[in-house]
């Protein structure tokens, strides 16, 4: 649903689960709607290339903090390690690929008992 003349439109992972064709169509619709309404859009997504194709300005966040911001062109050539890792989908960098957690035994309370 679209409110009449919204100043701000927010999208949360609008490309999640979409095939490449649907993703492209959705990205174009978002851009065209934004331009037609003259509104500001905030788009949260992990689909970097789709966002770069339609965004005027981007922010990168890590651990709840903004770590970089700029135009898509600036982000593509950024030397920032967070940005480089995310834009290039690199497994190694400041963002860990694997987040260690409790063992299943610890989670279920089956660990060694005194």
CATH of the domain at 57: 3.40.50.300
Q: What is the pLDDT of residues 56-71, one digit of tens each?
A: 999 998 888 998 999 9
Residue 56 falls within a domain, yes or no? yes
Q: What is the pLDDT of residues 6-30, one digit of tens each?
A: 889 999 999 999 999 999 999 999 9
Residue 22 falls within a domain, yes or no? yes
Q: What is the pLDDT of residues 23-49, one digit of tens each?
A: 999 999 999 999 998 989 999 998 999
Residue 39 falls within a domain, yes or no? yes
Helices (H), 1-114: 20-37, 48-54, 72-76, 81-87, 104-107
User: DSSP letters of 65-90?
Assistant: EEEEEE-HHHHHT---HHHHHHHTT-
Residue 28 falls within a domain, yes or no? yes
Residue 114 falls within a domain, yes or no? no
Number of domains in the chain: 1
User: What pTM does this model have?
Assistant: 0.71
């Amino acid at each position: 649903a679209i409110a009449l003349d919204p100043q701000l439109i927010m999208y949360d992972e609008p490309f999640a689960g979409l095939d490449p064709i649907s993703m492209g169509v959705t990205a174009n619709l978002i851009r065209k709607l934004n331009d037609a309404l003259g509104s500001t859009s905030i788009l949260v997504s992990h689909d970097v290339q789709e966002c770069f194709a339609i965004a005027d300005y981007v922010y990168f966040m890590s651990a709840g903090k903004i770590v970089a911001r700029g135009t898509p062109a600036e982000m593509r050539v950024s030397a920032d390690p967070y940005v480089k890792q995310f834009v290039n989908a690199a497994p190694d960098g400041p963002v860990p690929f694997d987040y260690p957690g409790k063992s299943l035994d610890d989670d279920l309370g089956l660990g060694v008992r005194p």
